[in-house]
Amino acid sequence: MSDYKAPLRDMRFVLNEVFEVSRLWARLPGLTEVIDEETAAAILEEAGKISAEVVAPLNRGSDEQGCTWNNGAVKAPDGFGAAYQAFAEGGWVGVGGDPQFGGMGMPKAISAQVEEMVNSASLSFGLYPMLTAGACLSINAHASEELKERYLPNLYAGTWTGSMCLTEAHAGTDLGLIRSRAEPQADGSFKISGSKIFITGGEHDLTENIVHLVLARLPDAPAGPKGISLFLVPKVLVNDDGSLGERNALSCGSIEHKMGIKASATCVMNFDGATGWIIDEPNKGLAAMFTMMNYERLGVGIQGLALGERSYQNAVEYARERLQSRAPSGAQHQDKAADPIIVHPDVRRMLLTMKALNEGGRAFSSYVALQLDTVRYSDDAATCSRARQLVSLLTPVAKAFLTDMGLETTVHGQQIFGGHGYIREWGQEQLVRDVRITQIYEGTNGIQSLDLAGRKIVGSGGALYRLFADEIHQFTASASAELGEFTQPLNAAVDTLDELTAWLLDRAQGNPNEIGAASVEYLQVFGYTAYAYMWALMANAASGKQAEDDFYAGKLGTARFYFARLLPRIHSLSASVKAGSESLYELDAAHF
């Protein structure tokens, strides 16, 4: 495996040249004094260093070793403790956290790039600070001032970590089925009882305390999702003076034996009358939890991008060095026994697919992050409302499409290595195993597709979609004639998506199965079209600069590849959508 190198040049290009973030930051109260282009560059540079020099070297060894469980105690792989301490001391756990409680206060557009770098270095490692940041979001938005003051500083500092305890063995996506219960106590606390599964970072030895956010039901709670409350339940109770007290009545029953992310502790957590405190109002737990869902789902999408980037870096280095056969047009390196495999059309197809999907994904994830920043910091009601609607529309696309493309990209990277890609020593097979979970957790990609097609498209009568499509048309209408090679196929793709959206809205009125039958392919068409918009924006930023810098020439060449070889996938996907739901129900259950 090659050494990881943070893609800082591309990150700066996306932020500064494509989206001109400094102009946006200047318009958002709360950011003008916090971040500028120079500060952003310094932060990303340092994040790249710790990711490449401290975290990345642990990736393969920690996968081989994994986490271990012994009588309720979980030990992280060798080196993780020291690396996490270095990561925390750098302030990286709280990079997007509230400065009032010790966070760095950076916008999501910056923390998104940090997340990519850390997860490229090691997804297993990156999950610990990611879950902590998610817990902090919910606590900061919904907890009492007392709870915020008691827990947030240590969470942002990385002295403690956080976990999100949602899933139960019988209740995965359908959280309305959970059975964990919370009994009120005279002192205002609650006794939490129940078992949770698939809890990332539920137990480990990286920090002295773990703060669990647990979904549970009060005794008089109504049935279903409207009867769920959220509770803060620390592993170790915290005294009034902030010191640690007694161990709480909770334990790790086991850890999962997984396909990938083996250095991340995925735990079964048992709460046996553990002391906890309610966050927000009774029966409002899902609302409090969903405060962080848009951030977390974008974060999972970025994980897919991150592993695709790592796979690409490995694959392109290998393709430049591996000698195998001669180029179809004749020998390119007469002094060698064979040519590097990068001369072969199929290898170039795979490399360009990886490059186009990674760079398109980086631009798209940054675009969604900028909408989150606008929602958080804008003081203009109309601007904030528009950004909130775009976040609602695009979050399921970011989670599902980025991770679907992450799997495709890592598989291409493995394929380029041939037989070497199938064995552990080269690292490519680990990336395929690790990225696979991103399509499953934080809501499977089928659920994300149903959310997009059902809630966001049909649920809004197409209004949310129109908001995004109109923005693309405004861009293409104002673009120069020189960009026609990109804007014309982009307009055609939007026309295809317009037609598909109208078809879905029409068919959903008469057949409830149509939404679910169409949803996955619909999201894919949406994703490829959104990436086409990103590539048109990047081509616009690179146009006219290709002679002065190979970076821009590479951008334009990759944009041409995307429009020529990847965007046309929308036509077969659209045909699948329009085939309807009837063929899915031809068979009775007994016929399968």
Catalytic residues: 442
For the four alpha carbons of 383, 385, 391 and 393, in that order, the dihedral sign comes to negative
Minimal CA–CA distance to 220: which of 171, 181, 170? 181
* 125 Cβ contact partners less than 8 Å away, ≥ 6 residues apart: 55, 58, 59, 62, 80, 83, 84, 118, 263, 264
Beta bridge partners of 276: 190
CB 298 within 8 A of CB 369: yes
Q: Specify the amino acid at residue 478.
A: S
- DSSP state for residue 453 in the 8-state scheme: I
Alpha-carbon distance values, 41 to 10, 11, 48, 305 (Å):
12, 9, 10, 21
- DSSP state for residue 258 in the 8-state scheme: -
CB 520 within 8 A of CB 498: no
State residue 267 phi and psi, 5-degree precision.
-115, 150
Q: Compute how many other C-beta atoms are within 10 angstroms of the C-beta atom of residue 488.
A: 13
Minimal CA–CA distance to 559: which of 528, 534, 529, 530? 534
CB 267 within 8 A of CB 254: yes
d(CA 214, CA 167) in angstroms, rounded, equals 10
d(CA 589, CA 570) in angstroms, rounded, equals 31
CB 10 within 8 A of CB 359: yes
Minimal CA–CA distance to 164: which of 257, 54, 290? 290
| Backbone conformation region of residue 275, classed left if phi is above 0, alpha if psi is from -120 to 50, else beta | beta
CB 370 within 8 A of CB 22: no
Task: Determine which helix (DSSP H) or strand (DSSP E) holds 10, and give its type and residue range.
Answer: helix 8-12
Say how many CA atoms lie within 13 Å of 284 toward its Cβ: 11
CB 559 within 8 A of CB 539: yes
For tokens 């957590």, the residue is 269
